[in-house]
Structure 1
């Protein structure tokens, strides 16, 4: 098979967007990472792509002269409330002066890099559901800035980066990269809603953003840590040698970008299909699964069949880690059995004390998941990212949202269905092309077997 042609993406302008107005003097400038944050401190950042149809934009100058100022100003207005996203994150635990817990620090003048680029690639093809070469999507994503430490300071990393890529006479893609240790999916969606609201209101009404979207709360005191998990996680990170000290090797087992021919595709489970799958699951297992469990279970079963055998099949979801193991031969795991196993694990979380059962092992679990190439989950249909990214006016909601970073984390990218109002769930995933074809065949066979009446 001939290699996929990757069209060049050319950066046209670069800006440093600072919070405007600057955060109030009384706002905390340093936020220590909680034990929840530390679980995700060493994993790759989360990268999302938002595709907007805009055939009326003739070229990149049409965007930079007409649309860019409002995007830049609204981003600055959103950063006024979410100023830690313009700050810097500690990248190491051990330093010449000893150990120090990681934190996010904001200093006056800190900013978020914003890149404006132009691409000659096929916009509609990139925004489709079919298998696309991940190298084409990678070109639309910004990198987090690195800040080297001096002899008296730790090395640091930026927290958020944004790239807007214009496809003349076709559309625009907004790519964001955010460090997972600073913001989970809910916090990211909160920021995105704030940015989009500021854009819709315009600069003359930017002060009213907090009326429509409540500001974030940075008080770390609301996170109770009676079990002293933060200390335990810091010890684990030190023992595992993360953050540039040779401990990332096992995490790299998730990284498909090192393998040739990796593609990204989206599979849609409409509400009608999920109901049919739910009826089958209840009939065969007595489990009344949620749509989330059904979509994840079907994808889990498909990946197990498509992928080469691995030492173990673990499935992790929730920000406090929850894992599911189902012992079956690679060709025998069904969508129904996988969905029921996931749903029973979710139901079990309602038991008192179950959420933190085994929590001391979360940091180590992440390494084990990676080395076993476990199936994990990124995003959630409950985040409502299609609605959160509604910039109003000629932009509206994006035509497609992708979590492109699942190429590096091996996760299922879940989102609410953004098309046709079918109330379903989108599942995006990255696999080598041959494995993707096997997964697609499983998906089509599953749909054909469902009673949709």
Structure 2
């Protein structure tokens, strides 16, 4: 780990702000959707940009200044992201406090590592990506919401790493923030424009009245939080660093043809022919990868396995929430089952059916009922640590490879935080196949070898 850390040098850490002088503090309340993500491990994402002619002069005199300046202009629209999460003693629930003087921490670094290997799909140690994502300051009293690290790889390219608190930024919100930053940066590159405006689709809405909560679910969740944490309001209750130093990381791709074959395979079993299954790319990808993960782990077939997926409620609320709303509008759905379901001959179909049924259940019940059920299931998960836990980060609906600041599309995107156990990442593939996805996986070395064999052998046998 020390040698890996030594391959990255932090040259400076600056505070990028909207460049205003007002000290007036504003308060953005948390909705019940936000409350579900209190003190969850921070989300960490990483984007690699290949620039083969990248010299320190080009990086320091052109790329870095434009990124920082456009970030400052972007924060004028996204002020709460520069704020802090606090729970004052007199307040019934936490909130985000921010002012026009707040800033986002940006670390500027240089790496001696092999850019092409780090940004590849091949197996490499998971800890190798950790020095490329920044720390996110958290204390008992306050928690930062966003920090960024920009790392130069001389003559190879650069990376942009994000650490963010899920309490305000889900995957959709981070994607929208990135699109806004890209839009403003490219305007500066092309037009030398000092104050470019954002199009309507990228203009963020922070209006919390858009989330109706007549039954006070936010206060129910605040009380549940305090009960679970013995009335502590500290943001340092749970450790945020739990990755296994022996883990390895790799990316696996499913083409549009692979997805079609998986769908046909599931429908070939008589038990699924007459059922109205929702066999979307997301459902089939989760089912196939989860089956490979459980088989790679091995163990008794009657052991407990639970898996979760996140549902977006924007279009499920009445009235629907606009797509440019910034704040959580997602909640997890957890399914409990046995390893034998994954190990069966028709395991992909069984798991796909469970995910499909879970999606239907989301649509048949009220939002508040779903939220409370999720909380109860989460408590059950916490009380039974011996289960195999599976989850999903990011979404194939988000075009992560469209974030071109002016020096080309990302070569690779990684969700670094999946190295903290259980989750995979699913993203739209860079190859623009129209239906291809890439799946990020972190496992110990032996399990990764087994998973790789199961993954590729299974596709060959479809």
Tell me which residue corresponds to 1:444.
456
The 5-angstrom pairing of residues 25-424 of structure 1 reads 29-59=26-56, 61-90=57-86, 93=87, 97=89, 100-146=92-138, 155-202=141-188, 204-205=192-193, 207-211=195-199, 213-241=201-229, 244=234, 248=238, 257=243, 259-284=244-269, 285-286=272-273, 287-307=277-297, 309=299, 312-318=304-310, 319-329=330-340, 332-333=343-344, 334-351=347-364, 353-369=365-381, 371=385, 372-387=387-402, 389-392=403-406, 395-424=407-436
What's the offset of the Cα at 1:340? Answer: 2.5
CA 3–302 in structure 1, closer or farther in 2 if over 3 Å, else same:
farther
Per-residue CA deviations over 1:84-126 (Å, capped at 9, x if unaligned) read 1111112xx5x6x456411111123210011111111111111
Per-residue CA deviations over 1:351-389 (Å, capped at 9, x if unaligned) read 2x25543422434534544533421111101122221x2
What's the offset of the Cα at 1:338? Answer: 1.5
What's the offset of the Cα at 1:77? Answer: 1.0
Contact 1:232 1:360 in 2 (8 A): no
Q: Secondary structure at the match of 2:374?
A: helix
Contact 2:256 2:435 in 1 (8 A): yes
What's the offset of the Cα at 1:264? Answer: 1.3
- Structure 1 Cα separation of the partners of residues 99 and 421 of structure 2: 31
Tell me which residue corresponds to 1:152.
none
What's the offset of the Cα at 1:225? Answer: 1.3
Per-residue CA deviations over 1:38-69 (Å, capped at 9, x if unaligned) read 1111211110000111111033x431122111
Contact 1:237 1:363 in 2 (8 A): no
- Structure 2 Cα separation of the partners of residues 208 and 35 of structure 1: 34
How many aligned positions are there? 427
Q: Secondary structure at the match of 2:65?
A: helix
- Structure 1 Cα separation of the partners of residues 195 and 427 of structure 2: 30
CA 341–101 in structure 1, closer or farther in 2 if over 3 Å, else same:
same
Q: Secondary structure at the match of 2:152?
A: strand
- Structure 2 Cα separation of the partners of residues 19 and 382 of structure 1: 30
Q: Secondary structure at the match of 2:193?
A: helix
- Structure 2 Cα separation of the partners of residues 24 and 386 of structure 1: 37
Question: What RMSD, in angstroms, separates the aligned Cα atoms of the two structures?
Answer: 2.7
What's the offset of the Cα at 1:342? Answer: 1.1
CA 6–405 in structure 1, closer or farther in 2 if over 3 Å, else same:
same
Structure 1 outlier segments of 4+, above 4 Å: 2-7, 20-25, 242-247, 308-311
Tell me which residue corresponds to 2:315.
none
Contact 1:263 1:432 in 2 (8 A): yes
Q: Secondary structure at the match of 1:186?
A: helix
Per-residue CA deviations over 1:401-420 (Å, capped at 9, x if unaligned) read 11111112521111111125
- Structure 1 Cα separation of the partners of residues 421 and 66 of structure 2: 34
- Structure 1 Cα separation of the partners of residues 242 and 304 of structure 2: 18
Per-residue CA deviations over 1:398-441 (Å, capped at 9, x if unaligned) read 01111111112521111111125353111112111111111111
- Structure 1 Cα separation of the partners of residues 171 and 138 of structure 2: 23
Per-residue CA deviations over 1:135-183 (Å, capped at 9, x if unaligned) read 11001010112466xxxxxx11111100011111111111011100111
- Structure 2 Cα separation of the partners of residues 305 and 436 of structure 1: 11
- Give unpaired runs (5+ residues) of structure 2: 311-329
* Bigger mean CA deviation after superposition, 158-167 or 102-111: 102-111
Contact 2:255 2:435 in 1 (8 A): yes
What's the offset of the Cα at 1:325? Answer: 3.0
* Bigger mean CA deviation after superposition, 284-293 or 264-273: 284-293
TM-score normalised by L of structure 1: 0.87
